[in-house]
Chain A
Amino acid sequence: MGRFVVRRLLGMVAVLFSVSVIVFLVFNVIPSSDPAQRMAGKSATPRLVKSITEEWGFDDPLPQQYLTMMKKVFSGELISYFGRENVDERIVEGIPATFSLCVGAAAIWLFFGLLFGYLSAMRAGGTLDRALTVVAVTGLSMPVPFIAALFLNYFTYKTEIFPSGGYVELTADPLEWLDHLIVPWITLAILYIGFYSRVLRSNMLDAMNEDYVRTARAKGLSERRVIRGHVLRNSLIPIVTLFGLDVGILLGGAIVIEGLFSLNGIGQYAYESLKNVDLPPIMAITLFGAFFIVLFNALVDIAYAFLDPRVKLGESAQ
C-alpha cells in the first residue's frame, strides 16, 4: 500500500513537471512572443528593450530561465511581466472567489444531477424520463457564454433581481456573498446537471440487469432496499471519480463565468493574463489547475485501492 501511494505521488510530480515544461516552451519557442518587446510597448527604443531583456534575464539560456521561473513559483517571488505584481499573492487572493463558485455550483449540480438521474432511471421510458432527458441533453449542449449572457440579461440587467457581478467575501457579509453567487452557481451547474443525470441513469439501468441485483431480489429484499443498497450504491462509484476530476478542473478557474460575472477569482486572473500574453501568471495558474486535476485523480485512485479489494495495486499504479 505504502509503495503504491508513493509511486502514485511520484507520478504526479512527473506529470506536473512535464506540464510546466510544456507551458514554458509554448510561450518561449513560438515566434513574435519576445516578452521584452511587448513589455516595452509599441514605440519602445531598442535601448529600453535591451535593458528590460537584461533586467529580466530574457537572454539567458532557456533551461536557466525555466529554472529561475520555477524557483520563483515555489518561493512565492514570481512577478508578472505586466502589472509587475506578485503572482502567487494574486492567486491566493483569488482562491476564495473561485472556491466559493466551485463548491456552491458543485453542490447544486450534484444534488439535481443525481435527483434527475435517479428519477429518470426509476421511470425509464416514461414521460418523466423523457422530459428529464430533454432537460439533461439541452444542459450538456449549452455554450457557456450564451447561458451566462441569458442570465445576465434577465436576472440582472432587466429585472435587477440579482447584482450584475462582483464578489463579496463570505466573512464580510454572508447574505451579499450568496446574492452575488447564486446566478454564477446556477450557470455553472446547468452545464453539469445534465451530464451527471445521464451518467447515473445509464449506470442504474446497467446495474438493474446485474446478477447481484437478481440475487438480492431472489433472497427477498424489499424493492427499496434493492435499489438503495445495491443498484444505487454501485452506480454512484464512477460518479465519485468524475466528480473529483470535474471539481479539480474547475478549481483551476472557470474562466468565462468568472470573467462575465467579474468574480475576481483565479479564472478571471487567468483571462486577464492571457490577454496580455503574461507568462508568469499563466504558468502559475496552469500548474495550480493541473495540480488539482492530478491530485484529485490520485486521491480517487488511492481511495479505491483502500476500499475495493479487487484493485490490484501493481496494475493500477500507472
Chain B
Amino acid sequence: MKSTTIAALAIFGLLVFLLLMLPPVAKRQMQAALLQLISPIQRTSASIQERLGGVEGGLKRLDQLDQENQRLRLENEQLRTANALLKNLETEVNRLNRALGFQQQSSFRLAPARIISRNTATWWNTCTIDHGKRDGIATDMAVVTEAGLVGKVTTVSDDSSIVLLLSDESLRVSVSIEGTQEQGIISGTRASSNYAPDLRIRFLSKTAAIKPGMKVLTTGTGGVFPAGVTVGAVKDFAVKELEGVATVEPAVDLANVQDVFVIKGQK
C-alpha cells in the first residue's frame, strides 16, 4: 500500500471520528450555518412557487391589494389559531382546576411563519420556515396552525428554522384522547410521510373504549408542547399483545400546509 494511501486513510478516519464525537450543539450549529447559507435560495424559490400558483389560479390583483389580503388572511388565521388554542386551554384549565386545583394558564404568543421548503428525504419528515433567531424562534418551540399541531423546531439559523413534522417517527408527543382518561405517545412511523401520514398512539390500555372520530389532544407533558392542542382524530383502534394502539388522522394537512405559527411562549 502506498504511503499516500495510508496517510489519506488515517486523515479520513481521524476526521470522521472527530466529526462523530462533536457535541450535538456543535452539529446543530453546523446545520444552522448551512441553513443560513441556503435560506435566500429557499425564500426565492418559495416566492416563485407562490407567484406561479397565483397565475394558475387565474386571478391577478394589484400588488398592494394582494399584500393587504395576505396580511389580513394571516391575521385572521392567527386569531383563529389563538382562539382555538384558548378554547383548548380553557377546557384543559377547567379540567385541571376541577380535578387538581391548578392555577389558570395564560394564552400563547404566536409568531406567524411561512413554509419555504419541504424536505422530502426518505426517512425524515421536516420542513423549513422563514423565521429564525432574529424573530425570536428557538429550538424545541412548538409549531401549530389553527387546525392543530404541526411539529417542533429543531435547528434555528438567523433567518430560517427547520421544523420536525408530526409525521416523523422521531417526534414523540404525549397525547390524550378526548372523552377518556387514556393517555399515550403519538409518533409517525418509518413508512410515514407528509403525503401519506401514518400516526400511531402507543401505550394505551388494552381495555380502552376508543372509537373512530375521537379527538386527540396534547397533554403538555414534557414541556415542549402546550396542553390541549389538537393533534388529530382516531381512525382505528387495535389491541396488541401488550398495549392498545390507535391510528390517527392528523388534523393538519402536512403535505399542503403553508402558513404556520410558532408558539413562542405564554403571554
- Specify whether A and B are partners: no
Chain A residues packing against B (C-beta within 8 Å): none
Chain B residues packing against A (C-beta within 8 Å): none
